[in-house]
Amino acid sequence: MRRYRKFPTLYLPILPEDDVVKLTSHDPSVPLPSPTLLGAHAAIARILHATGLGEAIDKIMEEREAIGCLALDGTTDVEVLLLI
């Protein structure tokens, strides 16, 4: 497990000490996530963090959450909403 700069410290006490997360399913009808997809996600996160693009994406996501809905007067920045 990797934690990046903006990781909420609130969660630190509940994380495993060895930084290894073990996933289990208590319902056989719910499959575990694909190790391949989790690995790809981790690789992309490392690339985004190393290039600084992670912070740019965080900013876009924060702006998107702040907008919430389209402005009645038509001034909503639709490019930000669509993550363009």
Q: Cα separation of 82 and 84, whole Å?
A: 5
Whether the pLDDT of residue 83 is over 80: the answer is no
Two tokens, residue 53: 């693009």
Evaluate if pTM is beyond 0.85. Answer: no
Q: Cα separation of 13 and 63, whole Å?
A: 29
User: Going by C-beta distance under 8 Å and a sequence separation of 6 or more, which residues neighbour residue 63?
Assistant: 80
Give 33-79 pLDDT, tens digit per residue: 999 999 999 999 889 888 988 888 888 778 777 766 777 787 877 77
For residue 66, what are the CA distances in angstroms to 37, 42, 61, 76, 77? 30, 27, 9, 11, 12
